[in-house]
Amino acid sequence: MYLYTPDEIDRKRAHHQAVKQEADDVPTKRRGNLGELAFEQFCREFLPVQFWTWKNEEALRKCNPESFSAFDFEVFGYEIDVKTSRDVSAFRPEKLLEQDPDDEIIVMVWHRDKEDGLILLGWERVETLKSKAETQEEFSGNEPEKLDHLAARPMNELMDLGPNTAHMNQKPQNPFSPGDRVVKSADEDASVAVVVEVLPPEKEVGVYGQTMEGEAVNVAFPSSLDGGAGDWRDINPALLSSYCYDQDIKLYSYKHTNLDFATNPFAPGDRVVKESHKDPDTAVVIEIGGSDGNSVTVVYEGQLDDENIFPSKLAGYCDDNGIKQYSYDSSDLQWVG
């Protein structure tokens, strides 16, 4: 058995995708999404990436409705469906067959009440489940009254369906997560960008007509994000991919080794406070500058009569209206929590 612990991004996306799917039972769909994420991690750890495909990877990453598919994964050519439940009786052969009699393999995933941990219990071929269900029905009189049979093979036996492989560990190696502020490496004039998606390592990404080698990261620039509906800064980082898709915001792909965390991560429109102030007032970033690029010019919210000024126009508005501006080093500021 294997334990999968979803992080905050996985949990947010699992829920939001269920909402966007307009599922009849959002909690059940959310748990199903988490079960698929758990099995995806198992595949990434132990199975060669060229031998398995997750049908709903993009839908879950972008929190879009799934395109119809009769199964969740294809592994070594087998069609696999993932079943997730808190009630282990749902994994009895006859229960599984009631839901998915046409798949080739079913993977069984149990989840904790709080959905903060999922255990991959095992898997079984559907033809074997049918045989066991028929046998149980024929010989039900011989079964213990308090002991039900749960058919499941150990997860590591799934590897035996394909070629012999060593421990794969094909997890992303890059250090970035959605919401991180980054800049292009070795570019003194690079603009700050926001990480929107960290793509799977095996995902082929084309840049200027050529396939990128290595892990890709999709980013958006604050000026583009500002053009969407509402304030993107209030959106959970896990849902930025969904927001950009819905608002048709252009994303740019970079090889992860070509990006660095931004030393000065701020951009016009960000709301910040000065750490050294005991009871700090909220300020709005209007400009980034300085010889080293680490100077941040702000005005305080109380100085602005109009709260709906487009971020790129803040500096000009303050100049035109004689609003006093303050400059700080980026290390002295932090985002409003």
**Residue 227 within a domain:** yes
Given this model, what pLDDT does residue 32 score? 95
- 131 and 32 fall within a common domain: yes
Given this model, what pLDDT does residue 149 score? 64
Identify which of 211, 183, 13 has the alpha carbon closest to the alpha carbon of residue 115: 13
Q: What is the pLDDT of residues 180-191, one digit of tens each?
A: 999 999 887 789
- 248 and 281 fall within a common domain: no
- 144 and 55 fall within a common domain: yes
- 185 and 151 fall within a common domain: no
- 137 and 255 fall within a common domain: no
Average pLDDT, integer, range 263-287: 91
Confidence of residue 282 (pLDDT cuts 50, 70, 90): very high
- 18 and 136 fall within a common domain: yes
**Residue 173 within a domain:** no
**Residue 175 within a domain:** no
Sign (positive/negative) of CA torsion 20, 26, 29, 35? positive
User: CA 216 to CA 198: how far, in whole Å?
Assistant: 7
- 144 and 212 fall within a common domain: no
Q: What is the pLDDT of residues 74-111, one digit of tens each?
A: 999 999 999 999 998 888 888 888 887 788 999 999 99
- 213 and 135 fall within a common domain: no
Its pTM stands at 0.82
Between 8 and 138, residue with greater pLDDT: 8
Give the end of a domain, one of 216, 238, 261: 261
Between 200 and 223, residue with greater pLDDT: 223
User: CA 282 to CA 270: how far, in whole Å?
Assistant: 10
In which domain, by residue range, is 224 found? 181-261
Residue with tokens 């909402």: 19
- 128 and 226 fall within a common domain: no
**Residue 142 within a domain:** yes
Residue 83 near residue 126, CB atoms below 8 Å: no
Give the end of a domain, one of 161, 195, 223: 161
Residue 13 near residue 56, CB atoms below 8 Å: no
Given this model, what pLDDT does residue 103 score? 81
- 146 and 210 fall within a common domain: no
Residue 132 near residue 76, CB atoms below 8 Å: no
Structure tokens at 38: 């758990």
Confidence of residue 210 (pLDDT cuts 50, 70, 90): low
- 225 and 330 fall within a common domain: no
- 276 and 257 fall within a common domain: no
